[in-house]
Every structure is written in C-alpha cells, then in structure tokens.
Amino acid sequence: MSITVPQKILVRVPNWLGDTVLAFPAVEALRGRFPTSHILLMTRPYLSELWLVQPAVDRVVAIRDGSKRAEVETALSLRREGVDLYLTFPRSFLSALTGLLAGAKLRVGYSSEGRGWLLTHRLRRDAETLKLHRVQYYLKLVEVFGEVSEVGPPKVTVTAEMREKGDEILRKGGLSASPKVGFNPGALYGEAKCWPQERFIELGRRLVEDGYKVLLFGTLGEQGRNAEIARGIGEGCLDLTGRTSLMELAVLLERCCCLVTNDTGTMHLSAAVGTPVVALFGSTDPALTSPVGDGHVIIRHRISCSPCFERVCPEGHHRCMRSIEVEEVLEAVKRVGGNGR
C-alpha cells in the first residue's frame, strides 16, 4: 500500500508482557518505514515502562486502569490530535474500534472478531499467517506499507541507573557475588504451561549444591506457589515474587547467567536483555512463541496431544511437562549458563 507519509501514527500495542516484547521489532520497523512520523503508543499501564525505553517511540499513553471504558475514553481524548494512521496489534473488536474513535483516517489490523468493517486495511488471519512466529505475525502489519528494513531481535535497553537499583536488591539479599540462575515457575495463562513445583525444587537444590544461587520471579498471584518452592530449596534462594517492577525484573534477569522458565512473558523479557533461556514447552508451540535470539535452549517432549493450547490439561495427566526431567534441565543450565554472572 502506498500512502502519504503520516504525520502522526497511533499504535495499539499488545496487552501481555510476552506479546509486548515480541512486538518491539514491528514498532522498530514502523519507525524505519516512517522515520519522520510521530509515533504514539496506547498500552496498559503496567507495560508503559518497557515502551518508554524503546527508542522508536515518541510518546506513550497508558490506558488509565486498563478497562474497556478507559480505552474508549483514551481513544476519544486523542481525537483532537489528528491521527493519520492507526495500527492495532491486538485482535479484539475494541482495539479496532479504538482507531475509529481516535479519528484515524487509515486503520490497519487483522480481520477477526467481526471487526473488519472498522478497519480501512485488513489482513486475513489465514492458515499460513497463524503458523508464523509472533514476531513475524506483528511485522506483517507493517509490511502492508511496503518492504521494511531488516530489524534485529527484541531488545530492552538497561541503563546504569537501573542496574544500580537491581544490584542493590541483590546486595540486600546477600547474592551480589554469586552466579545466579533465575526461575520463573508460574504462567498467567494456566497450569497446563507449568513444569511441576517439585521439579523446580529439586533443580534448585542441585544448583545450590553446585555453587549457584536461585532468584525466584513471578507475579503477586504466584506468591503462594513460589513461596513453597523457596522453602523447598532453602538457603541460597531469594524469592522476589511480586516485589519488582518490570524494569527491575529486566535488570535482575540481566544479572542471571540463565533463566529456567515455562512459556511466559518473563521468558521473552530475559531474551530481550541478553540472558539465555532454558524454556520448557508442553501445551504451547515453540514455533509460534519461542524466545528470539541466540543461545537459548528449548526443551520439549513431543506427545500426541501437544500442543493443545489449553489452560488446564484436558487429559488430566500433564504428561507433556511431567516428561521433562530435572537432569536434562540441569544439563541445559550448565551448558548455557557457563560459569555464571
């Protein structure tokens, strides 16, 4: 599609951490395609700090409380700013309506959820598109405007000031001088993605015996799970569950020699700060959401019902994750983590 260079571009970015990180290359490509345009992003409040450190972005607008009503109000408030072009990465009906309410002349997105009539330029979510890795899936929205320049993997820039804050957290926890392995045992999507707690405990004990320290990461809702894991590992484990902002999490991940994780947003954040990931996949497909970049290890045992993409194992046996043994994860940690950081 050939268009006049837009003065102001509004982008409705994804709602979840992992999708947000995987959308970074598309926003970078958009900047490359329109270097003189003003790029404005709409995002959920908790994700704002990640977008504020992205050099391709001119301004970030947080949707007040993340509610549907707040999104409508935010869109209407932007109407007077003269938005020329609107891109929506989410595929909800509301995210397409947002572009119309903001007064955007051109509105681009995937046609789904009965929202095609709200978009001036629609992309089909056909079988081939649905097989794309999420990075490429988002890049296709920018390719509507023609060939885009090559972009690198998602990247989060950590400043010296941010590192000092992270190092202070580690000093207070008594872990500043030790090689550290991050654990991310939960998954907001559902239990089907999760490696069993007892395996994380056994892995943590083995790593501590070998001279590593373990940092536990997670959300407030995962504090119960992670507290049990921390108690099981014992001395040598620092539980930071629900105690960090996203940028503090990014800094602490950067200080780890590797991260052991289920398929989660934290997995993608770790890759974006350059820390290798040992990613445990079962109910989801690494062809769609694997960590981007070099040095990562994906552990997945193929069974007939995987990937199911369900929140809870529909078969009740959770074999896709239970078949992953501690020994193979430990070997992967030693391989990618080296001597630690």
Name beta bridge partners: 121.
108
Rounded Cα distance, 37 and 31, in Å:
8
Residue ending a domain, among 119, 145, 171, is 145
Q: Are residues 59 and 28 in the same domain?
A: yes
Rounded Cα distance, 118 and 115, in Å:
6
> Does the residue 16 lie in any domain?
yes
pTM to 2 decimals? 0.95
Residue ending a domain, among 88, 115, 145, is 145
Helix (H) or strand (E) holding 300: strand 297-300
Q: Are residues 165 and 267 in the same domain?
A: yes
**CATH code assigned at 139:** 3.40.50.2000
- 């700013």: which residue's tokens? 81
Pick left, alpha or beta for residue 157 (phi over 0 → left; psi -120 to 50 → alpha; otherwise beta).
Answer: beta
Domain ranges, residue 46: 8-145
Q: What is the pLDDT of residues 200-249, one digit of tens each?
A: 999 999 999 999 999 999 999 999 999 999 999 999 999 999 999 999 99
Q: Are residues 134 and 184 in the same domain?
A: no
> Does the residue 153 lie in any domain?
no
Q: How many domains does one find in the chain? A: 2
Q: Are residues 186 and 71 in the same domain?
A: no
Q: Are residues 30 and 122 in the same domain?
A: yes
Give the mean pLDDT of the chain. 94
Rounded Cα distance, 280 and 302, in Å:
12
Rounded Cα distance, 25 and 8, in Å:
19
- 């009503």: which residue's tokens? 69
Q: What percent of the chain has pLDDT over 90?
A: 84
Average pLDDT for 87-110 = 97
Q: What is the DSSP letter of 189?
A: T
pLDDT reading at 339 higher than 60: no
Q: What is the DSSP letter of 274?
A: T
Q: Are residues 255 and 111 in the same domain?
A: no
Residue ending a domain, among 88, 119, 145, is 145
Helix (H) or strand (E) holding 261: strand 258-262
> Does the residue 80 lie in any domain?
yes
pLDDT reading at 176 higher than 80: no
Q: What is the pLDDT of residues 268-305, one digit of tens each?
A: 999 999 999 999 999 999 999 999 999 999 999 988 89
